[in-house]
Structure 1
Amino acid sequence: MKKEVQKESIAERTRVYIDAHPSVKDCISKDLINYSSLARLIMRDLNISNEEAVMIACRRYAVKLGRQDHENEILRVLRNSRLELKTKICIVTAKNDWTVLHRLEAIFKKLLNEKSIMQVIQGTQAITIIADEKLKAEVVNSVGPENVVKTRMNLVEISVKSPERISETSGVFAYLANNLADGGINVLESVSVFTDTIFIVDADDMMQAYSILSKCIESAEKMNPED
């Protein structure tokens, strides 16, 4: 009985390890992994001595992952997506206070009338306001300079505009974000709004980030229609 409990514990730790390493998980789902090498890696990193138990856990999890083809579903969404780029974007970070939210209400009404766009993200410690640089002074004055924690200028907003089925497809945001990270892009802020997946990057990273996202869409467009 004790031995069986130990195996279950190793199996769970193995699954958690694989889930925490997306590149390994992706190779497993595509049957591109050497399970002996993977088992030795997991044994070393998790300080496990039972190679057989780790091997069994890896292979069982591989069967489960093999039934899931998230990447093809993601590519089906991206092949019908397009990019939009906006320069001269700023980020104003303010204190997370109800007075700040109340003050933002007035500027929201004004921007709606002017058909301008501003995104607001509320976290536990701060409120992030993403807007056109020309609105920076107005945003700061609206929330109150005393409530502003930080401002960042000379940023770029890259939006991936996708079809509505993105809302029913898991992993699209992660797929794009991972590709940006692999390309060395530091995403300053990101937000997903219905069919829009938005990344804010420094202007110096604009061309590289746009190129990476373009290649994601181009590779999706090369899929066979029946895929």
Structure 2
Amino acid sequence: MNITGATYEVIAEYPYIEHYLSKRLVNYRALAREIRPGVATKIGREVNIQSIVTALRRLSYDKDSRKEPVDDILSKSEISLRYDLALITVELTRYIHGKILELHRNTGDEGYLLLQGLESLTIVVKDSHLSFLEKLFKDSILKKIENLAGVVVKSPEDIADTPGVITRLTSLLSAENINIVEMMSSYSETFLLVEEGDALACIEAIRREMKRARGIK
């Protein structure tokens, strides 16, 4: 393996760095010093900093000038925001289905989101329905979080066959120090639940990436 290939492999382990490379917002020499041990391990010998810097510049140019499948999906995606949400996680019991029917009757057209695990069920509702949920599941509540916002990314159907879209989104938010409280996906929709204080920064980070993707030919 040559230095360029080894550099690419090391950078691929940190998707959020790829994002900033594509925008050319990286101090190449500082990054080269940081990843030098990893590159040296992959090629089995010591390597000088300038060789890694050259590889990083080449990678930056490639990322900036080539539209990848993930970019194509993001360029055609739309984003929306919902405020005043709450999350509650409850234990799965034999009564769960009946309680979900009660939840459905209570929320009406406002709806709710469900994410079922092997032993628990996470429910996302409007804040106004939280007190009802607390009464409904009072003996089986595991976790409750209020003051949340939901970021909904609506993508083309091809997202199901395009690896890396979710990784790109989560890496973007990680780079902005935005915590994802919960994440759900259904067909072509990706739902990211974040704290209300992070909502605008979350939207802006994803919108910037969508605009960047639309600008790649």
**2:112, 2:126 within 8 Å by CA — same for their partners in 1?**
yes
Match of 1:207 in 2: 200
Instruction: For residue 20 of structure 1, report the CA deviation from its aligned partner.
Output: 3.7
Instruction: For residue 126 of structure 1, report the CA deviation from its aligned partner.
Output: 3.0
Question: Residues 56-205 of structure 1 correspond to what in structure 2 (within 5 A)?
Answer: 72-95=68-91, 97-99=92-94, 101-107=96-102, 109-110=104-105, 114-142=108-136, 144-205=137-198
Q: CA RMSD in A?
A: 3.9
Cα distance in 1 for partners of 2:34, 2:110 equals 51
**Structure 1 stretches of 4+ moved >3 Å:** 14-28, 36-40
**2:70, 2:164 within 8 Å by CA — same for their partners in 1?**
yes
Instruction: For residue 42 of structure 1, report the CA deviation from its aligned partner.
Output: 1.8
- Identical aligned pairs, as a percentage? 19
Q: 1:118 to 1:185 in 2, by over 3 A?
A: same
Instruction: For residue 115 of structure 1, report the CA deviation from its aligned partner.
Output: 3.0
Instruction: For residue 19 of structure 1, report the CA deviation from its aligned partner.
Output: 5.5
Instruction: For residue 51 of structure 1, report the CA deviation from its aligned partner.
Output: 1.9
**2:67, 2:213 within 8 Å by CA — same for their partners in 1?**
no
TM-score (normalizing by structure 1): 0.68
Cα deviation per residue 1:57-94 (whole Å; 9 max; x = unaligned)? xx9xxxxxx9xxx9621111111111111100000011
TM-score (normalizing by structure 2): 0.71
Which structure ranks higher in relative contact order (CA pairs < 8 Å, sequence separation ≥ 6)?
Answer: 2
Q: What is the identity, as a one-letter code, of the residue corresponding to 2:45? A: E
Instruction: For residue 151 of structure 1, report the CA deviation from its aligned partner.
Output: 1.2
Q: What is the identity, as a one-letter code, of the residue corresponding to 1:128? A: T
Cα distance in 2 for partners of 1:107, 1:71 equals 47
Instruction: For residue 141 of structure 1, report the CA deviation from its aligned partner.
Output: 2.5
Cα deviation per residue 1:92-149 (whole Å; 9 max; x = unaligned)? 0112x2335324431354268x33321111234532111111121222233x211012
Q: Secondary structure at the match of 1:187?
A: coil
Q: Rg bigger for which structure?
A: 1
Cα distance in 1 for partners of 2:8, 2:213 equals 29
Match of 2:25 in 1: none
Cα distance in 2 for partners of 1:215, 1:26 equals 11
Cα distance in 2 for partners of 1:87, 1:76 equals 28
Cα distance in 1 for partners of 2:193, 2:102 equals 22
Q: What is the identity, as a one-letter code, of the residue corresponding to 2:105? A: K
Match of 1:3 in 2: none
Q: What is the identity, as a one-letter code, of the residue corresponding to 1:185? A: I
Cα distance in 2 for partners of 1:91, 1:160 equals 19
Q: What is the identity, as a one-letter code, of the residue corresponding to 2:69? A: E
Q: Secondary structure at the match of 1:88?
A: strand
Instruction: For residue 37 of structure 1, report the CA deviation from its aligned partner.
Output: 6.6
